[in-house]
Structure 1
């Protein structure tokens, strides 16, 4: 009887120990799951909040400025949109760094099948493209919709930094992004010291389109804000404070610019620019007579990212120092 009692006691003790170990293991697993849940990144964006994988390895970006942001923090996108006006290829100023990235259509016509083939961990998209295909993109991978949520943000020349920092947060590279911004600000300060002290520094930025000459305003675009407020050029006479305007050849003599920077659109722009250059009204401009005309490359796009902006400063300083 004593032996049986002892055996039952030992068996009961073993069962209790096993249950205790099981509960301890379960508690440990629950704790680990809670910690993993806590570590998961929740990213706020224009469509709400999206949980993203802890380690994002393959990202598809559907806007050129996002390519710039990713490359700024040392991340090469797996898929990018092409630029139709540049022959359906990579945007030129980043083309060397984007080699090997899959082209997944354009912002106007995203190729969902191509994105599906990449099997990305994350998709970055702007609100324009998202308005057409967000639900489809969400079925493929977590999708973050970047961009401004108000006119105030949209007109903020430094808003691009917010998108850069949000992308940097995804990859735990916020310190690197801040350093890149600081490096850029130092570059701007050195350029401003030179440009703002020039005697003749009135500038007009023109865009030559197929049938139009447009003059960009003093604000509301990061490119012109950089030119007029960061680098220290003064806006020429026909430069409006906020609105981009169309210029006829008749008013060209009123431009009042010491310097003309211009971008020629690839579609129809070269033909129009050739015609403009043949005009005596154009030839009579002081900036043209003094050969103070800089034909820029993609500055309207470059202004939205740190890599592009650094290239803009280099090109402006090369022009100033000639």
Structure 2
């Protein structure tokens, strides 16, 4: 009888040990499963401030850059809050306005409205490096903040630098393939116009900007709009077009441009300066003006050059200009 009780006790102890062992073996498995689930729920984005963990599924994003608004809309994503542009009356950038109906405005890129951003409760905030200098720490407390952009003139010979931020944003949404397809479609569109320009005998172009107090001549490099005109589309720079940095241009120098085409971007506060130019004989007697080859843009080209949507619109305008 005692021998039977001893055997039963021993069997119970062995059984208990097996149960404990099984339980301890399950714990690492459960931890691995939990980690795998967490990994699927987030992704890590590398940007100018390092690496930031963001939700794998973004429901709300606040954007403090016109270029990044273009990028989001290019991949079919609508922002939940956007910055305003002071020079256009503190509203949406006009060329994107129809696609942003109802989206809250959250101040400027330089001075974002933090309270308005808090009310949106975004999953992610997208900003440029210049914004980060002032408000990165504050924005980071509201939501994971991704800092994109590069320093001016740091692109060297890379003419596709404007696509880098688009591809990073596309990565956030797992839409890199879509972004690449959009870029390829834009390139096809540019090639068709480039072939037309290549066949032209007279294709010297000057890209001018009328500011409130002065007139500027844009360079061949440095800005994505310049690269689009002189590299992607193949216009020949005018005689005075600088290589890397824009330069002030006096009216006395206009005859030296020797431009077959002039693209004129006029700031909203520069109408008086524009009027004075029209009244100048130096301007009126310029060959591009006399031959009706002067094209005044909607003053958004400097914004449009950064994105697929904007660049497509510039190419459409160029197509009309050279007909």
Moved over 4 A (4+): 1-7
The residue aligned with 2:107 is: 105
Matched, 1:222 2:260: no
1:34 shift after superposition? 2.9
Distance 1:7 1:153 in 2: 80
Matched, 1:71 2:73: yes
The residue aligned with 2:34 is: 33
1:3 shift after superposition? 6.1
The residue aligned with 1:152 is: 154
* Matched residue SS, 2:209: strand
* Matched residue SS, 1:102: coil
5+ residue gaps, structure 1: none
Aligned residues: 320
The residue aligned with 2:23 is: 22
1:255 shift after superposition? 1.7
1:148 shift after superposition? 1.6
Distance 1:154 1:301 in 2: 21
Deviations 1:140-173 (A, max 9, x none): 1111110126843388442121111111111110
Distance 1:250 1:149 in 2: 33
The residue aligned with 1:306 is: 308
Structure 1 residues 115-130: aligned runs within 5 Å: 115-130=117-132
5+ residue gaps, structure 2: none
Q: Which moved more, 1:122-131 or 1:143-152?
A: 143-152
Q: Which moved more, 1:95-104 or 1:18-27?
A: 18-27
Distance 1:150 1:239 in 2: 18
Residues 299, 151 of structure 1: CA spacing in aligned structure 2 closer, same or farther, 3 A cutoff? closer
1:131 shift after superposition? 0.4
Identify the match of residue 243 of structure 1 among 242, 245, 256.
245
1:38 shift after superposition? 4.3
| Aligned residues: CA RMSD | 1.8
Q: Give TM-score, length-normalised by structure 2.
A: 0.93
Distance 1:23 1:160 in 2: 53
